[in-house]
Structure 1
Amino acid sequence: MERRDFFKKGTKAAVAASVVPMITTAHGGPKDIVYNRDTDKWYNLGSGKTGIPNRKKTADYDVVVIGGGAAGISAAVAAARNGSKTVLVQDRPVLGGNASSEMRVHLNGVNRLKNGKAERETGIIEEMLLLNRFCNEQEAYTVFDHVLYEYVMREPNLTLMLNTQAIEAVMSGSKIKSALCWQSTTEMLYTLNAPIFIDCSGDGLLAATAGAEYRTGREAASEFNETFAPEKADGWQMGATLLMSSKDMGRPMKYTPPFYAIKYDYKKAHPKRNIAGFQNGIWWIELGSDDDIIADYEENRHRLMGYLHGVWDYIKNSGEFPEAENFALDWVGSLPCRRESRRFIGDYIVSEKDLTEYKHYPDAVAFGGWPIDEHIPGGIDNITEPPTHFHYHFHDLYEFPFRSLYSKNITNLMFAGRNVSQTHIALSSSRIMATCALMGQAVGTAAAICNQKNTTPREVGKKYINELQEQLLRDDVYIPKRPAKDPNDLAKKASLIFASTTSSGDAKLLTNGISRDIDGKINHWMSKGLPAELQLEWNAPIALSAVEIKCDTNVNRNIMMRKDSRNDELFTNGVPEEMTKAIKIQGRVNGKWTNLGAIDNNQTRLIKFKFNSTKVTAIKINITETYGAKDVKLFEVRCYA
Structure 2
Amino acid sequence: MIRPLRLLLLVTICATSSLAWAAEETVFVEAESFREPGGWSLDTQFITEMGSPYLLAHGLGNPVADATTTFKVTEGGKYRVYVRTKDWVARWKAPGKPGRFQLLINGQPLATEFGTESANWFWQPGGDVELKPGEHRLALHDLTGFDGRCDAIVLTKSSQVPPIAAKELAAYRAKGLGLSETPTIKKGYDLVVVGGGYAGVGAALSAARMGCKVALIQDRGVLGGNGSSEVRVWSMGLIRRGKYPRVGEIVEEFCDHAKKSPGTADEFEDAKKERIVSAEDKIDLFLHTFANGVKKSQPARIDAVKAFNVKTGEQFEFWGKLFVDATGHGTIGAQADAAWEMTDKGRMGMSNMWTWDEVRSPTTFPETPWALPLTMKDFPYPVDHHGQWFWESGYDKDPLQDAEGIRDWNLRAVFGAFNAMKNGDGAEKHRNAILTWVAFIGGPRESRRLTGDVVLTQEDIVSKREFPDGCVPSTWSIDLHYPKKQFAEKFVDNPFISIAVHDQRIDRAYGYPVPYRCFYSKDINNLFMAGRNISVTHEALGTTRVMKTCGMMGEVVGKAAYLCALHDCQPRDVYESYWKEMDKLLQLPGKARRQSLSSDVVIPADAMSLPGPPGLDPARMEGVVIDNRDAKVSGNWTSGSGLNGYVGYEYLYASANSGAKVKYSWKTAEEGLISFRLIYGAHENRGKAVPVTIQIGNSTKQVLVDMTKAPAGKDGSHELGRFEVKKGEEVFVEIGTENAGGVVHADALQLVKIVPPVKTPAP
Q: Which bin holds the TM-score, normalised by the shorter protein?
A: 0.5 to 0.7
For 1:151, give the aligned amino acid. Answer: I
1:128 Cα deviation after fit: 0.8
For 1:178, give the aligned amino acid. Answer: A
Partner of 1:169: 294
> What is the alpha-carbon distance in structure 1 between the residues aligned to residue 542 and residue 268 of structure 2?
29
Partner of 1:144: 269
> What is the alpha-carbon distance in structure 2 between the residues aligned to residue 459 and residue 201 of structure 1?
24
> What is the alpha-carbon distance in structure 1 between the residues aligned to residue 268 and residue 565 of structure 2?
35
8 Å Cα contact 1:11/1:168 also seen in 2: no
Judging changes above 3 Å, is the alpha-carbon distance between structure 1 residues 34 and 206 closer, same or farther for their aligned structure 2 residues? farther
> What is the alpha-carbon distance in structure 2 between the residues aligned to residue 472 and residue 70 of structure 1?
18
Judging changes above 3 Å, is the alpha-carbon distance between structure 1 residues 406 and 257 closer, same or farther for their aligned structure 2 residues? farther
1:313 aligns to 2:419 (yes or no) = yes
8 Å Cα contact 1:109/1:121 also seen in 2: no
Partner of 2:399: 293
1:129 aligns to 2:255 (yes or no) = yes
1:255 Cα deviation after fit: 2.9
Among 502, 526, 530, the alignment partner of 1:390 is 502
Partner of 1:565: none
For 2:306, give the aligned amino acid. Answer: L
1:516 aligns to 2:612 (yes or no) = yes
Alignment of 1:81-480 (within 5 A): 81-110=209-238, 122-129=248-255, 140-141=265-266, 144-171=269-296, 172-217=298-343, 234-264=344-374, 267=377, 274-290=380-396, 292-318=398-424, 324-376=430-482, 381=491, 387-392=499-504, 394-396=506-508, 397-476=511-590
Q: Percent identity?
A: 28
1:490 Cα deviation after fit: 13
Judging changes above 3 Å, is the alpha-carbon distance between structure 1 residues 385 and 165 closer, same or farther for their aligned structure 2 residues? closer
1:250 Cα deviation after fit: 2.5
> What is the alpha-carbon distance in structure 1 between the residues aligned to residue 320 and residue 173 of structure 2?
22
> What is the alpha-carbon distance in structure 2 between the residues aligned to residue 100 and residue 423 of structure 1?
26
8 Å Cα contact 1:370/1:432 also seen in 2: yes
1:260 Cα deviation after fit: 2.4
CA offset digits 1:11-64 (Å, max 9, x no partner): 367452434899988999547669966x768xxxxxxxxxx8787200111110
* Partner SS for 1:330: strand
CA offset digits 1:475-533 (Å, max 9, x no partner): 359xxxxxxxxxx9999xxxxxxxxxxxxxxxxxxxxx9732267533469xxxxxxxx
8 Å Cα contact 1:363/1:403 also seen in 2: yes
For 2:225, give the aligned amino acid. Answer: G
> What is the alpha-carbon distance in structure 2 between the residues aligned to residue 146 and residue 82 of structure 1?
24
Q: Highest relative contact order (Cα 8 Å, sep 6+), 1 or 2?
A: 1
> What is the alpha-carbon distance in structure 2 between the residues aligned to residue 472 and residue 79 of structure 1?
12
For 1:56, give the aligned amino acid. Answer: P
Judging changes above 3 Å, is the alpha-carbon distance between structure 1 residues 203 and 79 closer, same or farther for their aligned structure 2 residues? same
Provide the TM-score with structure 1 as the length reference.
0.63
Judging changes above 3 Å, is the alpha-carbon distance between structure 1 residues 327 and 35 closer, same or farther for their aligned structure 2 residues? closer
Judging changes above 3 Å, is the alpha-carbon distance between structure 1 residues 178 and 28 closer, same or farther for their aligned structure 2 residues? closer
The structure having more radius of gyration, on CA atoms, is 2
Judging changes above 3 Å, is the alpha-carbon distance between structure 1 residues 445 and 10 closer, same or farther for their aligned structure 2 residues? farther
8 Å Cα contact 1:10/1:208 also seen in 2: no
Judging changes above 3 Å, is the alpha-carbon distance between structure 1 residues 100 and 174 closer, same or farther for their aligned structure 2 residues? same
> What is the alpha-carbon distance in structure 2 between the residues aligned to residue 290 and residue 178 of structure 1?
34
> What is the alpha-carbon distance in structure 1 between the residues aligned to residue 247 and residue 425 of structure 2?
43
> What is the alpha-carbon distance in structure 2 between the residues aligned to residue 236 and residue 346 of structure 1?
23
1:279 Cα deviation after fit: 1.0
8 Å Cα contact 1:90/1:163 also seen in 2: yes
Alignment of 1:504-583 (within 5 A): 515-517=611-613, 521-523=617-619
For 1:57, give the aligned amino acid. Answer: T
Count of aligned pairs between the two proteins: 451
> What is the alpha-carbon distance in structure 2 between the residues aligned to residue 164 and residue 490 of structure 1?
33
> What is the alpha-carbon distance in structure 1 between the residues aligned to residue 381 and residue 349 of structure 2?
19
8 Å Cα contact 1:110/1:121 also seen in 2: no
1:275 Cα deviation after fit: 2.2
For 1:62, give the aligned amino acid. Answer: D
CA offset digits 1:447-473 (Å, max 9, x no partner): 111101100000001111232232122
Partner of 2:9: 11
Judging changes above 3 Å, is the alpha-carbon distance between structure 1 residues 460 and 143 closer, same or farther for their aligned structure 2 residues? closer
1:237 Cα deviation after fit: 1.8
> What is the alpha-carbon distance in structure 1 between the residues aligned to residue 182 and residue 496 of structure 2?
52
For 1:389, give the aligned amino acid. Answer: V
CA offset digits 1:390-411 (Å, max 9, x no partner): 2335344211000000001000
8 Å Cα contact 1:515/1:523 also seen in 2: no
8 Å Cα contact 1:514/1:523 also seen in 2: no
8 Å Cα contact 1:10/1:168 also seen in 2: no
Provide the TM-score with structure 2 as the length reference.
0.53
1:311 Cα deviation after fit: 1.8
* Partner SS for 2:252: helix
CA RMSD of aligned residues (A): 3.9
Partner of 1:64: 192
For 1:16, give the aligned amino acid. Answer: E
8 Å Cα contact 2:376/2:425 also seen in 1: no
8 Å Cα contact 2:247/2:590 also seen in 1: no
> What is the alpha-carbon distance in structure 1 between the residues aligned to residue 186 and residue 497 of structure 2?
51
Judging changes above 3 Å, is the alpha-carbon distance between structure 1 residues 84 and 264 closer, same or farther for their aligned structure 2 residues? same
> What is the alpha-carbon distance in structure 2 between the residues aligned to residue 317 and residue 19 of structure 1?
36
8 Å Cα contact 2:356/2:435 also seen in 1: yes
